[in-house]
Amino acid sequence: MINSELKRLRGSPFNALRALLDPLEPAAGLEPLTLTIGEPQHKPPQIMIDALHASEHLYGKYPPADGTPEQREAIAGWLTRRYGLSDGIVDANSNIAPVNGTREALFMIAQVITERATHNEAKPAILLPTPYYHTYHAAAFMAGADPVFMPATAEHDFFPDLTTLDPELLDRTTAFYLCSPANPQGTAASAEYLEEVLRLAIKHDFILIMDECYAEIYDCKPPVGILEICDELGEGLDHVLTFHSLSKRSSAAGLRSGFCTGNTEIIRTFIDLRNYAGAVSPLPVCAAAAALWNDDVHVEENRALYRQKFDAAERILGNRFGFYRPQGGFFLWLDVEDGVEATKKLWTKGALRVLPGKFLSAEGPDGVNPGDKYIRVALVGELDKTEEALTRLANSL
């Protein structure tokens, strides 16, 4: 009696990792170190704790599905500051939907924009990169669409090659999920690339769903955001939705707070849907979110901590394993020839848990899994542990 679509999903990459490593013993005499999950370990900012305490009397109230005006104002203010947007592009009253973490929202949004096919119609398609964040796949399936994987390989800066897209496929496409900076590869899409995807979205009338949750974790240059491109082109936000999260920006994954902005009608309908079935954020969480979006100082401190870890990676790994310094995010995407074998070796020789790229990717149309050669290494822990882990990694492979 379980939905057959759901049964076809591959499940979390972490389940596959447990099945791979649980039968094996980690190297003896070494403290096991985990570099798998993208959960920032930096201390959440004090302003968040203070805001939660200051509003704890509000836990007794039912919170509204669209957050609070202060929270939406803070989000609109941050977007305008971060992307230098013209006035009115984002409006705190009409096109911002605060959400309880972007994972849930990235999942649910596909249902808002996908019409189910009747039996003589072609199924709608949802395009997604491979490697990919596993929620996109589940979202496409559960919305009744065909998930179409587009390989995102080193040849194209780890973004899908747009020139290979069949116009017929684009015509039945309802959404295209893209992540920039990309998880797991850490590349940031160029303005030209984003403009090209946006033009495709307009031409074929689909929604470009940008997952920009790593937009604030960057090395040198702030990654370009889709809203800047919409602003420059003067095309409005009709064909885009973008998702941002405090989980990475403010090292606050447990707060479960982010937002979505874009096409006003979709945002309104999305808020309506969330009113039926979305967990809304408690009012103290809304207050904490407002405080965090209003502050950029803690984010700069956060970035500085990641830079130290990328410096360490550069020093320790040099040019081995195809190391490059990611433009954004906090993962290393290392070419180790066989990611699954390397993962086993790192566990048995170095007591390190990393994630094989294969578990984050699906085969493209050519039958090749673009993640096969890689491992993903999350640099989310303390600097000294990260240095130790990277040294063990270099010595074990």
Ligand X SMILES: Cc1ncc(COP(=O)(O)O)c(C=O)c1O
Residue 102 CB partners (closer than 8 Å, separation 6+)? 211, 213, 243, 244, 245, 247, 258, 260
Cβ neighbours of 53 (radius 10 Å): 11
Q: Is 262 in the site for ligand X (CB under 6 A)?
A: no
Shortest spacing between CB 119 and ligand X, in angstroms: 34
Shortest spacing between CB 106 and ligand X, in angstroms: 6
Shortest spacing between CB 99 and ligand X, in angstroms: 8
Residues 107, 142 contacting (CB under 8 angstroms): yes
Question: Quick one: 251 or 263, whose CB is closer to ligand X?
Answer: 251
Shortest spacing between CB 38 and ligand X, in angstroms: 4
Helix (H) and strand (E) counts in the chain: 15, 12
Structure tokens at 389: 């882990």
Binding mask 36-65 toward ligand X (x if CB under 6 A, else -) reads --x---------------------------
Q: Is 260 in the site for ligand X (CB under 6 A)?
A: no
- Select from 15-23, 59-67, 99-107, 185-193 the region that touches ligand X (CB under 6 A): 99-107
Stretch (H or E) spanning 316: helix 297-317
Question: Quick one: 174 or 183, whose CB is closer to ligand X?
Answer: 183
Return the exposure string of 368-381: e unless at least 16 CB atoms fall within 10 Å of the residue's CB, then b: ebbbebbbbbbbbb
Residue 364 CB partners (closer than 8 Å, separation 6+)? 130, 149, 150, 151, 370
Question: Quick one: 26 or 160, whose CB is closer to ligand X?
Answer: 160
Selected from 13, 141, 173, 211, the binder of ligand X by CB under 6 A is 211
Q: Is 133 in the site for ligand X (CB under 6 A)?
A: yes
Q: Is 102 in the site for ligand X (CB under 6 A)?
A: yes
Question: Quick one: 215 or 334, whose CB is closer to ligand X?
Answer: 215
Return the exposure string of 7-17: e unless at least 16 CB atoms fall within 10 Å of the residue's CB, then b: eeeeeebeebb
Question: Quick one: 38 or 44, whose CB is closer to ligand X?
Answer: 38
Selected from 147, 151, 225, 258, the binder of ligand X by CB under 6 A is 258
Shortest spacing between CB 233 and ligand X, in angstroms: 25
DSSP letter for each residue of 341-383: HHHHHHHHHH-EE-EEGGGG----TTS--TTTTEEEEE--S-H
Stretch (H or E) spanning 34: strand 33-34
The amino acid sitting at 378 is A
Shortest spacing between CB 102 and ligand X, in angstroms: 4
Four-point Cα dihedral 335, 338, 342, 345, nearest 10 = -160
Number of residues counted as binding ligand X (CB under 6 A): 13
Selected from 188, 213, 317, 332, the binder of ligand X by CB under 6 A is 213
Q: Is 299 in the site for ligand X (CB under 6 A)?
A: no
- Kindly identify the residues of this chain, within the stretch 228-247, that bind ligand X according to CB under 6 A: 245, 247
Alpha-carbon Rg for the chain in angstroms: 21
Four-point Cα dihedral 210, 254, 276, 283, nearest 10 = -110
Question: Quick one: 55 or 251, whose CB is closer to ligand X?
Answer: 251
Binding mask 162-181 toward ligand X (x if CB under 6 A, else -) reads -----------------x--
- Select from 70-78, 79-87, 97-105, 339-347 the region that touches ligand X (CB under 6 A): 97-105
| 295 phi/psi in degrees, rounded to 5 | -120, 135
Distances from the Cα of 306 to the Cαs of 62, 174, 300, 334, 378, in angstroms?
37, 36, 10, 17, 11
Question: Quick one: 26 or 45, whose CB is closer to ligand X?
Answer: 45
Question: Quick one: 63 or 184, whose CB is closer to ligand X?
Answer: 184
Selected from 72, 78, 98, 103, the binder of ligand X by CB under 6 A is 103
Cβ neighbours of 336 (radius 10 Å): 22
Shortest spacing between CB 188 and ligand X, in angstroms: 13
- Rounded to whole angstroms, how far apart are CA atoms 328 and 128? 20
Question: Quick one: 66 or 388, whose CB is closer to ligand X?
Answer: 66
Question: Quick one: 90 or 360, whose CB is closer to ligand X?
Answer: 360
Burial class for 236, CB neighbours closer than 10 Å (0-12, 13-18, 19+): middle
Which residues form the interface with ligand X (CB under 6 A)?
A: 38, 101-103, 133, 179, 183, 211, 213, 245, 247, 253, 258
